[in-house]
Structure 1
Protein backbone atom coordinates (compact mmCIF):
# COMPACT_ATOMS: atom_id res chain seq x y z
CA UNK A 1 0.00 0.00 0.00
CA UNK A 2 2.77 2.46 0.89
CA UNK A 3 4.50 1.74 -2.40
CA UNK A 4 1.33 2.59 -4.33
CA UNK A 5 1.07 5.90 -2.43
CA UNK A 6 4.70 6.69 -3.28
CA UNK A 7 4.08 5.95 -6.95
CA UNK A 8 1.04 8.23 -6.94
CA UNK A 9 3.03 10.98 -5.23
CA UNK A 10 5.87 10.64 -7.78
CA UNK A 11 3.37 10.73 -10.62
CA UNK A 12 1.75 13.84 -9.16
CA UNK A 13 5.03 15.72 -8.64
CA UNK A 14 6.22 14.84 -12.14
CA UNK A 15 3.01 16.29 -13.57
CA UNK A 16 3.32 19.37 -11.34
CA UNK A 17 6.92 19.91 -12.46
CA UNK A 18 6.07 19.43 -16.14
CA UNK A 19 3.19 21.91 -15.99
CA UNK A 20 5.24 24.44 -14.01
CA UNK A 21 2.83 24.27 -11.09
CA UNK A 22 5.52 23.12 -8.63
CA UNK A 23 7.71 26.11 -9.43
CA UNK A 24 4.74 28.52 -9.27
CA UNK A 25 3.77 27.21 -5.84
CA UNK A 26 7.38 27.42 -4.60
CA UNK A 27 7.77 30.98 -5.85
CA UNK A 28 4.36 32.04 -4.50
CA UNK A 29 5.53 30.82 -1.09
CA UNK A 30 8.73 32.86 -1.47
CA UNK A 31 10.95 29.78 -1.18
CA UNK A 32 14.29 29.73 -2.96
CA UNK A 33 15.63 26.71 -4.79
CA UNK A 34 18.35 26.35 -2.16
CA UNK A 35 15.78 26.39 0.68
CA UNK A 36 13.73 23.70 -1.04
CA UNK A 37 16.84 21.64 -1.80
CA UNK A 38 17.98 21.77 1.83
CA UNK A 39 14.51 20.73 3.05
CA UNK A 40 14.44 17.81 0.59
CA UNK A 41 18.01 16.64 1.17
CA UNK A 42 19.13 17.20 -2.42
CA UNK A 43 21.51 19.58 -4.15
CA UNK A 44 20.03 22.86 -5.39
CA UNK A 45 21.08 21.94 -8.94
CA UNK A 46 18.80 18.91 -8.64
CA UNK A 47 15.75 21.05 -7.87
CA UNK A 48 16.75 23.44 -10.65
CA UNK A 49 16.97 20.54 -13.15
CA UNK A 50 13.60 19.20 -12.04
CA UNK A 51 11.91 22.56 -12.44
CA UNK A 52 13.57 23.24 -15.81
CA UNK A 53 12.56 19.82 -17.14
CA UNK A 54 16.13 18.61 -17.55
CA UNK A 55 15.61 15.69 -15.13
CA UNK A 56 12.57 13.83 -13.84
CA UNK A 57 12.09 13.83 -10.07
CA UNK A 58 12.84 10.40 -8.59
CA UNK A 59 13.94 8.75 -5.38
CA UNK A 60 13.61 9.86 -1.77
CA UNK A 61 14.47 13.48 -2.60
CA UNK A 62 11.63 13.63 -5.12
CA UNK A 63 9.20 12.23 -2.54
CA UNK A 64 10.34 14.88 -0.05
CA UNK A 65 9.96 17.54 -2.77
CA UNK A 66 6.44 16.29 -3.52
CA UNK A 67 5.49 16.40 0.17
CA UNK A 68 6.87 19.92 0.48
CA UNK A 69 5.11 21.22 -2.65
CA UNK A 70 1.84 19.55 -1.60
CA UNK A 71 2.04 21.26 1.79
CA UNK A 72 2.36 24.77 0.32
CA UNK A 73 -0.73 26.99 0.32
CA UNK A 74 -2.52 27.12 -3.00
CA UNK A 75 -3.14 30.60 -4.45
CA UNK A 76 -6.80 31.61 -4.42
CA UNK A 77 -6.67 33.33 -7.82
CA UNK A 78 -4.59 33.12 -10.96
CA UNK A 79 -3.10 36.54 -10.30
CA UNK A 80 0.40 37.20 -9.09
CA UNK A 81 2.16 40.19 -7.59
CA UNK A 82 3.67 40.93 -10.97
CA UNK A 83 0.25 41.29 -12.60
CA UNK A 84 -0.24 44.69 -11.02
CA UNK A 85 3.31 45.67 -11.91
CA UNK A 86 2.87 44.69 -15.55
CA UNK A 87 -0.66 46.10 -15.76
CA UNK A 88 -0.88 49.07 -13.39
CA UNK A 89 -4.38 49.82 -14.60
CA UNK A 90 -5.50 46.67 -12.77
CA UNK A 91 -3.82 47.51 -9.48
CA UNK A 92 -6.46 49.97 -8.26
CA UNK A 93 -10.04 49.09 -8.88
CA UNK A 94 -11.65 52.42 -9.69
CA UNK A 95 -14.96 52.46 -11.46
CA UNK A 96 -16.19 55.59 -13.17
CA UNK A 97 -19.90 55.85 -13.73
CA UNK A 98 -21.18 58.47 -16.12
CA UNK A 99 -24.82 59.33 -16.33
CA UNK A 100 -26.32 61.38 -19.10
CA UNK A 101 -29.69 62.96 -19.34
CA UNK A 102 -31.97 61.41 -21.92
CA UNK A 103 -32.18 63.40 -25.11
CA UNK A 104 -35.96 63.42 -24.97
CA UNK A 105 -38.04 63.48 -21.85
CA UNK A 106 -39.85 60.28 -21.12
CA UNK A 107 -43.44 60.20 -19.99
CA UNK A 108 -43.74 58.09 -16.91
CA UNK A 109 -47.12 57.40 -15.46
CA UNK A 110 -47.29 56.06 -11.98
Structure 2
Protein backbone atom coordinates (compact mmCIF):
# COMPACT_ATOMS: atom_id res chain seq x y z
CA UNK A 1 0.00 0.00 0.00
CA UNK A 2 1.46 3.29 -1.11
CA UNK A 3 1.18 6.17 1.35
CA UNK A 4 -1.16 8.98 0.36
CA UNK A 5 0.42 12.42 0.12
CA UNK A 6 -0.93 15.72 -1.05
CA UNK A 7 0.85 18.98 -1.78
CA UNK A 8 -0.62 22.29 -2.88
CA UNK A 9 1.53 24.36 -5.19
CA UNK A 10 1.02 27.41 -7.36
CA UNK A 11 2.20 27.85 -10.96
CA UNK A 12 2.17 30.81 -13.36
CA UNK A 13 3.53 33.27 -10.84
CA UNK A 14 1.25 32.05 -8.07
CA UNK A 15 -2.01 32.43 -9.96
CA UNK A 16 -2.66 28.76 -10.88
CA UNK A 17 -3.28 26.33 -7.99
CA UNK A 18 -2.10 22.75 -8.51
CA UNK A 19 -2.97 19.98 -6.06
CA UNK A 20 -0.38 17.21 -6.41
CA UNK A 21 -1.81 13.86 -5.32
CA UNK A 22 0.40 10.82 -4.82
CA UNK A 23 -0.29 7.34 -3.52
CA UNK A 24 -3.76 5.92 -3.02
CA UNK A 25 -6.95 7.97 -3.13
CA UNK A 26 -9.41 6.30 -0.74
CA UNK A 27 -11.82 7.47 1.94
CA UNK A 28 -8.84 8.37 4.15
CA UNK A 29 -7.73 10.92 1.53
CA UNK A 30 -11.01 12.83 1.44
CA UNK A 31 -10.37 15.27 4.30
CA UNK A 32 -6.90 16.21 3.07
CA UNK A 33 -8.04 16.72 -0.53
CA UNK A 34 -11.00 18.88 0.52
CA UNK A 35 -8.91 20.85 3.03
CA UNK A 36 -6.26 21.46 0.39
CA UNK A 37 -8.88 22.76 -2.03
CA UNK A 38 -10.55 24.88 0.68
CA UNK A 39 -7.19 26.45 1.58
CA UNK A 40 -6.90 27.99 -1.90
CA UNK A 41 -7.90 31.66 -1.86
CA UNK A 42 -11.32 32.14 -3.52
CA UNK A 43 -9.96 34.46 -6.21
CA UNK A 44 -7.59 31.69 -7.35
CA UNK A 45 -10.23 28.91 -7.54
CA UNK A 46 -11.27 29.85 -11.07
CA UNK A 47 -9.06 27.07 -12.42
CA UNK A 48 -7.58 24.35 -10.18
CA UNK A 49 -5.49 21.48 -11.54
CA UNK A 50 -5.35 18.10 -9.83
CA UNK A 51 -2.07 16.39 -10.74
CA UNK A 52 -2.41 12.58 -10.74
CA UNK A 53 1.09 11.81 -12.08
CA UNK A 54 2.12 9.96 -8.89
CA UNK A 55 -1.27 8.46 -8.04
CA UNK A 56 -1.16 4.67 -7.79
CA UNK A 57 -4.74 3.73 -6.89
CA UNK A 58 -8.23 5.18 -6.61
CA UNK A 59 -11.35 3.47 -5.32
CA UNK A 60 -15.05 4.42 -5.31
CA UNK A 61 -14.63 6.57 -2.18
CA UNK A 62 -11.82 8.43 -3.94
CA UNK A 63 -14.04 8.97 -6.99
CA UNK A 64 -16.81 10.28 -4.71
CA UNK A 65 -14.32 12.77 -3.23
CA UNK A 66 -13.42 14.00 -6.72
CA UNK A 67 -17.11 14.35 -7.62
CA UNK A 68 -17.78 16.42 -4.49
CA UNK A 69 -14.79 18.64 -5.34
CA UNK A 70 -16.03 19.15 -8.91
CA UNK A 71 -19.50 20.01 -7.58
CA UNK A 72 -18.09 22.43 -5.01
CA UNK A 73 -15.97 24.11 -7.68
CA UNK A 74 -18.80 24.49 -10.19
CA UNK A 75 -21.06 26.01 -7.51
CA UNK A 76 -18.55 28.85 -7.21
CA UNK A 77 -18.08 29.17 -11.00
CA UNK A 78 -14.69 27.47 -10.85
CA UNK A 79 -13.22 24.63 -12.86
CA UNK A 80 -11.32 21.53 -11.83
CA UNK A 81 -8.91 20.08 -14.38
CA UNK A 82 -7.10 16.73 -14.26
CA UNK A 83 -3.50 16.22 -15.38
CA UNK A 84 -1.21 13.20 -15.54
CA UNK A 85 -3.83 10.44 -15.48
CA UNK A 86 -2.45 7.11 -16.64
CA UNK A 87 -4.42 5.12 -19.23
CA UNK A 88 -6.27 3.06 -16.62
CA UNK A 89 -7.37 6.08 -14.52
CA UNK A 90 -8.39 7.95 -17.66
CA UNK A 91 -10.62 5.02 -18.61
CA UNK A 92 -12.10 4.89 -15.08
CA UNK A 93 -12.86 8.64 -15.19
CA UNK A 94 -14.53 8.11 -18.56
CA UNK A 95 -16.64 5.20 -17.30
CA UNK A 96 -17.92 7.12 -14.26
CA UNK A 97 -18.62 10.17 -16.43
CA UNK A 98 -16.15 12.63 -14.90
CA UNK A 99 -14.67 13.43 -18.30
CA UNK A 100 -17.93 15.24 -19.09
CA UNK A 101 -17.24 17.71 -16.28
CA UNK A 102 -13.47 18.22 -16.24
CA UNK A 103 -10.84 19.05 -18.78
CA UNK A 104 -8.21 16.31 -18.91
CA UNK A 105 -4.61 17.05 -19.86
CA UNK A 106 -2.01 14.43 -20.74
CA UNK A 107 0.58 16.04 -18.48
CA UNK A 108 0.95 18.76 -15.89
CA UNK A 109 3.13 20.77 -18.28
CA UNK A 110 0.37 20.70 -20.91
CA UNK A 111 -2.21 21.80 -18.32
CA UNK A 112 -0.04 24.68 -17.12
CA UNK A 113 0.71 25.91 -20.62
CA UNK A 114 -2.98 26.09 -21.56
CA UNK A 115 -5.35 28.79 -20.41
**Which one has a larger percent helix, Structure 1 or Structure 2?**
1
Compare the two structures and name the one with the higher strand fraction: 2
The alignment's TM-score, normalised by the length of structure 2, stands at 0.22
The TM-score with structure 1 as length reference comes to 0.23
